[in-house]
Chains A and B, each alone.
Chain A
Amino acid sequence: MDFPAYGDPESPASQHVSPYYIEKAIEDTAVPNLVTAVLADYRGYDTLFETAVIFTAGLACFILLRRFRREPPQFRLYRHLDTGVTLIIEQGGKEPTDSDEFRRIDSQWVPYDLIMQKAVGLVVPFLQLFALYVIAHGHHSPGGGFQGGVIFGATLILIAISNDLRSTTRRISETISSKLASTGVLIYAGTGALCLLLGANFLNYSQLSKLIHVSTVMARSHGILLIEIGVGLAVAAVMIWIYYNLVSAGRHDEGL
Chain B
Amino acid sequence: MPDLLSLFLAKYNYWVVIFLMMIGLYAMMAKNNLVKKIIGMNIFQTAVILFYVSIATKHDASIPIIGHGHNGHHAIHAADYMNPLPHVLMLTAIVVSVATLGVALALAVKAYQQHDTLEEDEIIEQLKTDYLSQQ
Contacts and interface: CB of A to CB of B under 8 A. Distances in A.
B84 A18 contact: yes
A5 B58 CA distance: 10
Contacts of B113: 249
Interface in A2-23: 3-9, 11, 13-14, 17-19, 21-23
Interface residues of B, number: 47
Nearest to A24: B76
B96 interface: yes
Contact of B95 (A9, A14, A50, A141): A50
Contact of B12 (A6, A14, A18, A43): A6
A56 B99 contact: yes
Interface stretch (A27-35, A68-76, A79-87, A183-191): A27-35
Contact of B64 (A3, A34, A53, A64): A34
Given A18-B85, A23-B76, A23-B78, A64 B107 contact: yes
Given A30-B70, A34-B65, A64 B14 contact: no
Interface of B: 7, 10-14, 54-59, 61, 63-70, 72, 76, 78-79, 81, 83-88, 91-92, 95-96, 98-100, 102-103, 105-107, 109-110, 113
Interface of A: 1, 3-9, 11, 13-14, 17-19, 21-23, 25-27, 30, 32-35, 37-39, 43, 46-47, 50, 53-54, 56-58, 60-61, 64-65, 140-142, 146, 242, 245-246, 249
